[in-house]
Amino acid sequence: MTVTFLHPKHMTVKCGVFLAAWQAWFDRYAPSKCAATDGMPVSARHTSLAKQISGGRIFSLDVLCRMLVPYRNTKQASSPFLAANTHLLEVIRVRSPVTGRTVKGVRLTCAAPVLLGGVTVNDRNTVDALLDSDIEDANKKELLDVSFEPCEPLERSVSTAEAVVTGALFSNSTLVKALVDWMAIDTFQPHYRRRPIGTSVTGWAARLATYFWPNPGVKAAATSARLLPITLRGPWSPKEEADAVKWATDIFTWGGVPQAVVTPAMVRDVFESVAAGKRIRSAPMNSGWTKVAAFASHGTGAKNEQVIWDSRVAHSLIRRLDALLRAAGHNTVPALTILKDIGRVPGRGGSRTAISYGLNWPVGYRTWTAHFAGSALVREIRDELNKRRTPAEHGKSDGPWTVRDVEMVLFMDGY
């Protein structure tokens, strides 16, 4: 059983994922109500997702539906949508949490509450990923200025960069060493939806052990197990084009970044770009396709291993590079090869809600140059960690550091 959307035309979403989102909306935004029996406003409007949320309409069918498809700024809960999904939804009157007046709403049909009990952990994880990832729209060239977390920015404290700065940091190696040293001594407190999770830790290996996605119930080992079939895949023959599209779509689902169009040619162009170290043809790039590129690099060797350059990884590195360089007396980004094309990705959530850097960093969202530059920098960090291998500070008990390991640490640090 599926839920049918009209924008994009005839797109379907698994019933389990829709019901997981329905339950999540009640849990997060109307905890006093019952998802199985109560309703929510439809609140369908021809306006942006940001205006829907700022207008107090986050608890609505329209906002819920927008998050399940790539077109977040397009009205979704239209009358034709309701007519196409009468097997799950019935129209009722509900009280608006904004005006207090009675408005058009929906609730689950009498059969649907039984289906709520069949929602799987994977369905819930899919929804959590959608809510906590970079929020894109297929028709816009920048990330949406939207967050599904409480409005107050997370004040994440970090130790001062001066503790590890010696000299002017004029070389690639001294800058990378200072960054590795700083993160090794900087105490880290994991957070989820702006709330602290677990205890604070110190050291690279301890930081890696705190990784989770998309919620604290899915740690690094579980993530690796889920992604193993993806990382083991390689280039496809023309006869396997359908598999290529499914492979990429699985990555988008895991990352919570649905895409409007995914074709075999797009996947092939990304693979060829990864192998060539430059953009080939019209290879796409955004917070979803950077994940495809990273996994496409798995079989190309350690020298070409690539990182997911999303808002969290980019913010972690740029925030720290910015502080290190300013502590060393720099007023502009120096002309170091390791910094060339490093670009910011302006996401939302956690400490990214009000990002302010002291130096002028270019925007790297949707650019292959920033993806490649970020990957090269993370490879340098990986290599520096593997030169040291001191268990108390930098080492891993299960083998050398990989780009994916470093990425997980940065992902948590960049929240």
Do 171 and 319 belong to one domain?
yes
Write down the residue that tokens 């399940």 correspond to: 68
For residue range 315-353, list pLDDT tens digits in order.
Answer: 999 999 999 999 999 999 999 999 999 999 987 655 555
Q: How far is Cα 40 from Cα 104, in angstroms, rounded to an integer?
A: 9
Do 121 and 226 belong to one domain?
no
Residue 126 lies in a domain: yes
Dmax over Cα atoms in the chain, in whole Å?
70
For range 359-366, the mean pLDDT: 95
Write down the residue that tokens 């996994």 correspond to: 295
Question: Are the C-beta atoms of 16 and 120 separated by less than 8 Å?
Answer: yes
Do 291 and 404 belong to one domain?
yes
Residue 143 lies in a domain: no
For range 242-249, the mean pLDDT: 90
Identify whether 8 is preceded by a cis peptide bond (ω within 30 of 0).
yes
Q: How far is Cα 400 from Cα 136, in angstroms, rounded to an integer?
A: 35
Residue 327 lies in a domain: yes
DSSP per-residue codes, 256-320? T---S---HHHHHHHHHHHHHTS--TT---STTHHHHHHHHGGGG-GGG------HHHHHHHHHH
Question: Are the C-beta atoms of 380 and 172 separated by less than 8 Å?
Answer: yes
CB-CB neighbours of 122 under 10 Å: 15
Domains of the chain: total = 2
Q: What is the pLDDT of residue 1?
A: 87
Q: Give me the domain span that covers residue 176.
A: 161-413
Do 304 and 402 belong to one domain?
yes
Residue 155's pLDDT band (cuts 50, 70, 90)? low
* Alpha-carbon distance values, 58 to 33, 50, 51, 139, 168 (Å): 15, 9, 10, 21, 48
Do 257 and 368 belong to one domain?
yes
Strand partners, 363: 344
- Does residue 356 have a pLDDT over 80? no
For residue range 367-392, list pLDDT tens digits in order.
Answer: 999 999 999 999 999 999 999 876 55
Do 101 and 178 belong to one domain?
no
Q: What is the pLDDT of residue 398?
A: 77
For residue range 98-107, list pLDDT tens digits in order.
Answer: 999 999 999 9
**pTM of the model as a whole:** 0.90
CB-CB neighbours of 200 under 10 Å: 11
Q: Which residue has the higher pLDDT, 392 or 265?
A: 265
Residue 196 lies in a domain: yes
Mean pLDDT of the chain: 90
Do 108 and 235 belong to one domain?
no
Do 126 and 169 belong to one domain?
no
Q: What is the pLDDT of residue 390?
A: 63
Residue 31 lies in a domain: yes
Nearest to 413 by CA among 88, 137, 182, 149: 182
Alpha helix (H) residue ranges in 55-120: 61-66, 79-84, 112-116
Rg (CA), the chain: 22
Domain-terminating residue out of 107, 130, 153: 130
Do 246 and 121 belong to one domain?
no
Percent of the chain whose predicted confidence (pLDDT) is above 70: 92
Residue 118 lies in a domain: yes
Do 193 and 234 belong to one domain?
yes
For residue range 2-18, list pLDDT tens digits in order.
Answer: 999 988 787 899 999 99
Domain-terminating residue out of 110, 130, 150: 130
Residue 109 lies in a domain: yes
Q: What are phi and psi of 352, to 5 degrees?
A: -85, -5
Q: What is the pLDDT of residue 96?
A: 94
Do 116 and 214 belong to one domain?
no
Residue 339 lies in a domain: yes
Between 311-327 and 172-185, two packed helices, what is the crossing angle to 10 degrees? Answer: 110
Do 187 and 68 belong to one domain?
no
Amino acid at 305: E
Strand partners, 102: 95
Question: Are the C-beta atoms of 393 and 184 separated by less than 8 Å?
Answer: yes
